[in-house]
Structure 1
Amino acid sequence: MNLAQACTWRRSPVKPELSLCHSSCRKGQRRSARICSRGRSSCRNPHKLSDCHLSVGCVSESHQRVGVRHSQVVTSGKGAATEVSYIADDGEPVTVDFGRVDADRVVRGRPVRIPVSRAGQRNYSGLYWSSTTRAHLVYESLLERDRLLLADFCPAVAWMAAQPFWMRGYDGSTFRRHVPDLLLQHRNGAFTVVDVKPERMMKKPKVIDVLKWTDRVCRERGWQYEVWSGTDPTELSNVRFLSLAKRSRFVDRAASERVSAVTADGMTIDQILMTSQDGGVVTRSAAMTALLEQLWLSRWATDLRIPLSGTSAITVGVAAA
């Protein structure tokens, strides 16, 4: 995988009574916050917005809180604006028309949905530590974790968020609600909304309809949209191996300086490691970690389309996009 491949992206009246409720799992009584569209009168466990930082509720004055100055309105049917709800970094729930949403604030906000683990579930959810945000991001499946890994590796991505917002609106006569998996902010100022779906899900008409609606609404807003179902397993395995050095604080700085000093364009990994160890200044493991860090940060490059090995040639002086 070269740098260009790593960074290529594929391409209402809203229900007025939205309230927060908890749904309890029978086993272990684990709770996950979610949006309840039935209204407070039918919610068994209503609570205040201040009681939960995992969900988004309607805020009547949220337009003023965001301080929006845009006049663009994104519509999805029946002449009504599509609505987006998110949680700002300070914990403030915000609801605003999609065309007026503050993208910078959304991408640095909190997830609107936290995946929970339960016995017998088919997917594996968890936390991914991102070297881009220097924090953990939630994922709902291993496929979603893989997409987070590639976004974290891409130098064109300046920031990213998982489970970033709820979007609600009409698609013709059908009312839709959806939470995209990722929101990526690029260094050139662009934004990409990502939905991660396995190939088997792409055969379901209901899923396709939601994705088409999301694509149309995002592009009307001026955002890019991507549906991701996986990539070449060799490339993914190589990037996963490089990620071993993504935590820079664990990289030996002396080894990093030594490796950088002895490396020349076209040298193989084995040649770099052997030269770095001359004089017993650094160990092989420390030199390897330092080399992987240079590749992870895209300062150096190698062909990720074939399995990494000691014969892999290194290109130095690669400028980050």
Structure 2
Amino acid sequence: MPVTDVDVHDLVRAQPWRRHLTYRGEQLDLGIYAAISTGQNPVATDGIWERMELADFDPTVRSMIGQPFKLRAEQGPGKAGYIPDLMLISSDGTITLIDSSPTAGELCPSERVLDWAEEVVNARGWTYEWWTGPKDAQHYTNIKALGGFCRPMHPVQQALIEPTLSLCADAELPIHAVEKSLTHEKMPQPMVRAVIQHLLWWGDLTTDLHRPITTGTRLRTDAAARRPAPDQWDVGTRLVLGHDRGTIVRCEGDDLVVGLDPSGFGQGERSFSRHDLAEKATALPTAYQRPLLPAQPFTVPR
């Protein structure tokens, strides 16, 4: 379709234009990045991987699609076509197209094509970005390290989320003080630290990520950014339930009905008591509670 007719509703449903490339007669599969914050699995080239990690950490990014579409001109430098490496859609509908340093074969558009693509993208009201690597090495290193703890915690560790946030709500405490307060015989220090790192990645806890993280790093939390506690879960609350994500669709007394997003693991509605659901699920942080489009789940079927 003409580029002027494309809107965010079209792009948020886009599938990768290509999943492999051809170089010297060989077919090479593109990598797959597992984006935990959006629940998607965008294809990725080597040069764009670090940018995906930073986008996954950014709560304003609600959709990540690799190789989203092919842009062609009727004549001129874009006649052969151009495929951006990555497309990000933010919570306010802003669309950013990102290219990285090309690698080989068909991933090597000329400078004339890239200049033409940037002109077309900007004229459409989108943002064009040329990615050359992280500008702040320490900031990226911290995000990459915390990314190892972005997955849902074990139910035993999930029970530490609220105590950790409550402990940091009144004062900025160093990591070693939080660990000392929460560590006991059945909850060793490494498990407590994993919960802290999990909350730092999701934004429940904040600190200066432009400096190295040590046991003396001070943690703080903003009440407005905290994820809803189990006793606050209501219709519309977004949850992570094992491998799935879902939204509470009905509250019938102490019974909650969760509508699961379509995924390779399951879908449909499931009923739980509030107590059982609190043991099996955790709420997404406040910044991730509102999906970009209510009718569009962000979990891509396998």
Q: Which bracket does the TM-score occupy, shorter chain normalised?
A: 0.5 to 0.7
Higher CA-based Rg: 1
1:294 aligns with 2:294: no
CA distance in 1: counterparts of 2:37 and 2:75, whole angstroms: 35
Matches within 5 A, 1:133-148: 133-141=38-46, 143-148=47-52
Identity of aligned residues (%): 27
Amino acid in the other structure paired with 1:149: E
Q: How far apart are residue 113 of structure 1 and its match? A: 1.0
| Contact 1:183/1:194 (8 A) holds in 2 | yes
| Whole-Å separation in 2 of the counterparts to 1:173 and 1:125 | 26
For 1:237 and 1:117, locate their aligned partners in 2 and report how far apart those are by CA, in whole Å: 32
Structure 2 partner of 1:221:
124
Counterpart of 1:44 in structure 2 is: none
Aligned partners of 1:181, 1:301: CA distance in 2, in Å?
A: 31
Q: Contact 1:158–1:185 (CA<8 Å) still a contact in 2?
A: yes
Shift of 1:311: 1.7
Alignment of 1:236-251 (within 5 A): 236-250=140-154
Q: Give 1:249 shift.
A: 4.8
Unaligned runs of 5+ in 2: 226-286, 289-302
1:100: which partner in 2? 5
- Tell me the secondary structure at the aligned position of residue 183 of structure 1: strand
TM-score between both structures, scaled by the size of structure 2: 0.64
Q: What is the CA–CA distance in structure 1 between the aligned matches of 2:164 and 2:23, rounded to whole Å?
A: 46
Offset of residue 240 of structure 1: 0.8
2 CA distance for matches of 1:220 and 1:259? Answer: 47
**Residue 177, structure 1, aligned to residue 81, structure 2:** yes
- TM-score normalised per structure 1: 0.60
Q: Which residue does 1:160 correspond to in 2?
A: 64
Which stretches of structure 1, 4 residues or more, deviate above 4 A after TM superposition?
A: 116-119, 170-174
- The match for 2:19 is 114
Alignment match, 1:21: none
Letter in 2 for 1:272: V
Q: Are 1:255 and 2:160 matched, yes or no?
A: yes
Matched positions, count = 218
1:215-274 deviation line (CA, Å, top 9, x unaligned):
111112111111111112222111011111211254721122332232244211222112
User: Are residue 269 (structure 1) and residue 172 (structure 2) matched?
Assistant: no
Aligned pairs for 1:1-321 within 5 A: 96-115=1-20, 125-141=30-46, 143-170=47-74, 172=76, 175-197=79-101, 207-231=110-134, 232-250=136-154, 252-264=157-169, 265-277=171-183, 279-280=184-185, 282-317=187-222, 319=225, 320=287
